Amino acid sequence: MSKHPLPVRRAVHADAPSLARLRHALRAGMGTAEELSDVFLVRCEEWMADRLRPGGPWRCWVAEGEGAIVGAVWMQIVEKIPNPLGEGEWHGYITNFFVDERLRGEGVGSALLTALIGAPETQGLDALFLWPTDRSRRLYARFGFVGMGGVIERRPAAGPARAARA
């Protein structure tokens, strides 16, 4: 855990340029990019700015350090088909979880997950789910995510709410 926890907050529309750069760093590090960096950044920034407007199904939390965003995690609220069994009718899909390489292992990822899991809009979701990397599995396990193979999930301790989350 970091000696000096970094502040975590909900992302806003104005964060889109920084978030697009983080997205590029995450994905470009996984292989050879087929899109020029400048072209990608414009396209991604527009997409993120649109998704960060209030009222949509996307949420993002950011960690800040030394005046810059150094980590982020996104969640899309996914509606399920109604059912009569009392099960929750909303899931949270976690994606694009990234922490600056220089700060990995310092508690930034834990702080981001803590904020996401504790957020009011996350309460009452039937489950949180994601496709982890091999490296991230231990972090998610510490937060109660379970599953074998590709997808892992975290179900709430209390029963899920049925109210709309979007």
pLDDT tens across 54-88, in order?
A: 989 999 999 998 889 999 999 999 999 988 887 78
Number of domains observed in the structure of the chain = 1
151 Cβ contact list (under 8 Å, min separation 6): 129, 130, 131
Question: pLDDT at residue 126 above 60?
Answer: yes
What proportion of the chain, given as a percentage, has pLDDT over 70?
89
Q: Write out the residue range of the structural domain in which residue 25 sits.
A: 8-154
- 163 inside domain: no
CATH number for the domain harbouring residue 33:
3.40.630.30
- CA torsion, ordered 14, 19, 24, 25, to nearest 10 deg: 130
pLDDT of 4 reads 55
Tens of pLDDT, residues 17-29:
999 998 888 777 6
Q: Which residues contact 153 (CB under 8 A, 6 or more apart)?
A: 127, 128, 129, 145, 146, 147
Q: Is 3 within a domain?
A: no
- Does residue 76 lie within any of the structural domains? yes
Kindly state whether residue 14 falls inside one of the protein's structural domains: yes
Tell me whether residue 160 is in a domain: no
Q: Is residue 159 part of a domain?
A: no
